[in-house]
Amino acid sequence: MGRRFLVICSFLVLVSAVKAESIKSLINIDSVSTGWFIGAKYRSFFNSSKFNSSNSNVVGGEVGVVLNRSFYIGVSGFAKTGSLRFDKNGESIGVGYGYGGLYIGKSFMHNSIIHPSVSLCTGYGGASEHYLFGANHVAGFFFIEPTVNVEVNISSKMMFISGITYRYADTSNFYYLSSGDLNGFSVNAGITFRIL
């Protein structure tokens, strides 16, 4: 009985939405153009001196809705690639991590070939500290990443993006990693496709 009621109500809402007349209002949402975007990015983070490598690379991207060709809202996710290790008490400890969450961004002067943009990604991630011959310690962390980019319109549907990101990660749940180990600046580059 409940399912029939839900189906009937959903059908009535859809029919009324299709047949709805234009309503005058203070904010005219009908004039907002909408579309989709999907992007792939590569980031190179500058590591603390603790690690065996001066930088660590992450790959990932974003997908979501674009409004008026300039405001982006969606989800984003990244994962570390390659090996990242440090020594602790004579033992070699490896680090792996991935993270994702809400993505929002804003392009300025988006009709110009070259234009600036800003974005913010925030959410949750997981990282592992693992001994070469021994146990793993896995912990979750909150993160926030503001980014400043320069975008180049390759076509009306494709952009090249390059910029600088700062990652803040709360590492209070880790045994050996500190905030200074996962926090820091990165350079990034990628391609975004807009489906408008």
- Asked if residue 17 belongs to a domain, the reply is no
Q: Is residue 8 part of a domain?
A: no
Q: Is 129 inside a domain boundary? A: yes
Tens-digit pLDDT profile for the chain (196 aa)?
Answer: 544 544 454 444 444 444 444 545 455 555 567 899 999 999 888 766 566 666 788 899 999 999 888 899 999 999 988 767 777 766 777 777 889 999 999 999 988 999 999 999 999 988 877 766 666 777 888 899 999 999 999 998 899 999 999 988 887 877 777 666 778 889 999 999 988 7
- In angstroms, what CA-CA distances link 187 with 41, 109, 117, 178? 10, 22, 15, 21
Instruction: Assess contact for 147 and 121: CB atoms under 8 A.
Output: yes
Radius of gyration for the chain, computed over Cα atoms and rounded to the nearest angstrom: 22
Domain annotation covers residue 3: no
DSSP per-residue codes, 80-108: EES--EEEETTEEEEEEEEEEEEEEEEES
Asked if residue 4 belongs to a domain, the reply is: no
> 26-35: buried (b, 16+ CB within 10 Å) or exposed (e) per residue?
eeeeeeeeee
Residue 172 covered by a domain: yes
Q: Which residue segment(s) compose the domain that 148 sits in?
A: 26-195
The answer to whether residue 105 sits within a structural domain is: yes
The CATH number given to whatever domain includes residue 32 is 2.40.160.20
Whether 38 contacts 192, CB under 8 Å: yes
Q: Are 58 and 79 in contact (CB under 8 A)?
A: yes
Domain count, the chain: 1
* 160 lies in some domain: yes
